[in-house]
Amino acid sequence: MGIPTVVVTREGFSRVVANSFAGVGLPAEASQAIYPVNMFVPGSDLTPIEGKMDELIAGLTKWEPKIEAKRVATPPKVRVEFKEHEEAVASVNRLFLRNMWSDGLPIMPPTEKLVSWLLTGSDLSPDKVVIKILPRGGIATVKTVAINLGMAGGRPEYMPVLIAALEAIGKPQFRHELMNSTTCAVYPAVMINGPIAKQIRLGSGYGCLGPDPLHPAGASIGRAIRLLLQDAGGAIPGTGTMSIYGGPARYTNIVFAEDDDGLPSNWQTLSVEQGFPAGSNTVTAYAVSSTTNVPGGEVGNKDSALASLNRAAATMAAPNGNYWIYPYNPEGAAGILLMASGTAEGLSRLGWSKEAVKAYLWENSKIPASKLGPQVSAWWIPRERIMQDPMPISTSPKGVKIVVAGGLQSGHMMWLQVGCCPEQLTSAGIKLPANWHQLLKKAEDDLGPIASAP
């Protein structure tokens, strides 16, 4: 016997509810009472409530959930035949769009040969489950991951990073089920530390957020994550994800490396802050809703350094309701500030530790209560129990994360503001396959020597 339940939702969210029910093994045809969108704003007409009473009562008294056993379903293979290679590829792309398996951009057909090649990038069994992607609850095995990486134009040496990224996103503290269905324009930011970043040609310097033909790994890995969030997680706009705007970053998300070599000697890398030994290969993920360019970053003397930090703090001091929901806990983060190695080195020479920079930014990004009000019952207003004047964007300076990336020179920084709805940054170690050096040799044969661009 279950607890009688009816989902009260608004027009347009019916499929999101169905995905959520399917994700926990219940029938997708959940008992729902669907109300007009306009009824959910202050001062609206509430008379539709009375008209739905019969549906509510029927849902509470007649609808019975049926638990389905968890299983991994293998869909039948798709066969496409044409005399011309170009027409076959075009036909596959049309087929994938009709079935909503693609993201609107061209894909590489994930043939058996391609997928088998990509599977050489992992020692895991192809049938091993990597992640259950909510809200739909699709199961992504290692083979599923390889298929989506193939669609995104990836290579086998990307597989260890992609698998670790999915493991980080799948951790409960990331709350990817909310990220995948929310109205917020949110997407994963995936940051890599360790020597693997250079080995797979992942950008950490100029243009690290892409595009970059010298460092193509981030685009393919990020797009594979997006395809999995869509195909296994059900994030189809307007039905599975209700993101009002979406955004260009959702095509490939953000996948880049911290410039480990560019950090000042007395600054810790992100991975060390996350509890990993220095020099280890790791992935750290967070859900962000914007990349805001911060003009500045010059740190030639004390005054210019303060001016740069003040510009960053002013950008961070936006009254963003996402600051004060799930991330507002001792382990949460308001966002991630990217700064070039030149800025970090300059601050260090002037006596700024990483902790001192965080403390200054936290103190100077507090928002006057007058800019948050008037107090209304809305998710984007800080709750009374945490309300202060001025209002900090995180519970402590620990909630301001700093990652060094973006080239040698100063001049700009980038604020990655938290979106809906992670509780904290999540990380995973990267496991290399036994044939790692052979994979790197093949990559050098295919792509040429690794560029030594800054």
Question: Does the pLDDT value for residue 70 go beyond 60?
Answer: no
d(Cα 52, Cα 34) in Å, to the nearest integer?
A: 8
Q: 168 and 38 in one domain?
A: no
Of residues 264 and 28, more confidence is placed in 264
Contact 144, 110 (CB under 8 A): no
Amino acid residing at 201: R
Q: 307 and 179 in one domain?
A: yes
Residues 158-215: pLDDT tens digits?
A: 999 999 999 999 999 999 999 999 999 999 999 999 999 999 999 999 999 999 999 9
Amino acid residing at 106: P
pLDDT at 440: 98
Is residue 60 in some structural domain?
A: no
Residues 122-171: pLDDT tens digits?
A: 999 999 999 999 999 999 999 999 999 999 999 999 999 999 999 999 99
Q: 183 and 36 in one domain?
A: no
Average pLDDT of the segment spanning 374-394: 85
Distance of CA 103 to the CA centre of its chain: 16
Instruction: Using a cut of 0.85, tell me whether the model's pTM lies above it.
Output: yes
Q: 170 and 28 in one domain?
A: no
- Of the candidates 211, 402, 411, the one whose C-alpha atom is nearest the C-alpha of residue 307 is 411
d(Cα 389, Cα 30) in Å, to the nearest integer?
A: 44
Is residue 404 in some structural domain?
A: yes
**pLDDT band at 1; cut points 50, 70, 90:** very low
Give the pairing type, strands 187-193 and 254-257: parallel
Residues 37-59: pLDDT tens digits?
A: 666 666 677 777 777 777 767 76
Cβ count near 95 (within 10 Å): 14
Q: Which segment of 56-65, 223-232, 255-264, 415-424 scores lowest on mean pLDDT?
A: 56-65
Is residue 313 in some structural domain?
A: yes
Range of the domain at 291: 162-429
Distance of CA 236 to the CA centre of its chain: 16
- Of the candidates 411, 391, 408, the one whose C-alpha atom is nearest the C-alpha of residue 399 is 391
The count of domains in the chain is: 2
Is residue 439 in some structural domain?
A: no
Contact 368, 305 (CB under 8 A): no
Residues 6 or more apart whose CB falls under 8 angstroms from that of 318 comprise: 367, 417
pLDDT at 54: 73
Residues 224-260: pLDDT tens digits?
A: 999 999 999 999 998 889 999 999 999 999 999 999 9
CA angle 256, 223, 242 (to 5 degrees): 110
**pLDDT band at 79; cut points 50, 70, 90:** confident
Question: Does the pLDDT value for residue 383 go beyond 90?
Answer: no
Q: What is the CA radius of gyration of the chain?
A: 24
Q: Both tokens of residue 72?
A: 């991994």
Helix axes 302-316, 341-349, angle to 10 degrees: 130
d(Cα 11, Cα 243) in Å, to the nearest integer?
A: 14
Q: 169 and 38 in one domain?
A: no
d(Cα 63, Cα 327) in Å, to the nearest integer?
A: 36
Is residue 448 in some structural domain?
A: no
Q: Which segment of 34-48, 66-80, 370-384, 391-405 scores lowest on mean pLDDT?
A: 66-80
Is residue 397 in some structural domain?
A: yes
Is residue 56 in some structural domain?
A: no
Q: What is the 3-state secondary structure (H, E, C) of the chain?
A: CCCCCCEEEECCCHHHHHHHHHHCCCCCCCCEEEECHHHHCCCCCCCHHHHCHHHHHHHHHCCCCCCCCCCCCCCCCCCCCCCCHHHHHHHHHHHHHHCCCCCCCCCCCCCHHHHHHHHHHCCCCCCCEEEEECCCCEEEEHHHHHHHHHHCCCCHHHHHHHHHHHHHHCCHHHCHHHHCCCCCCCEEEEEEECCHHHHCCCCCCCCCCCCCCCCCHHHHHHHHHHHHHHHCCCCCECCCECCCCCCCHHHHCEEEECCHHHCCCCCCCHHHHCCCCCCCCEEEEEEEEEEEEEECCCCCCHHHHHHHHHHHHHHHCCCCHHHHCCCCCCCCCCEEEEECHHHHHHHHHCCCCHHHHHHHHHHHCCECHHHCCCCCCCCCCCCCCCCCCCECCCCCHHHEEEEECCCCCCCEEEEEEECCCCCCCEEEECCCCCCHHHHHHHHHHHHCCCCCCC
Residues 87-107: pLDDT tens digits?
A: 889 999 999 999 999 999 999
Is residue 420 in some structural domain?
A: yes
Helix axes 142-151, 159-169, angle to 10 degrees: 110
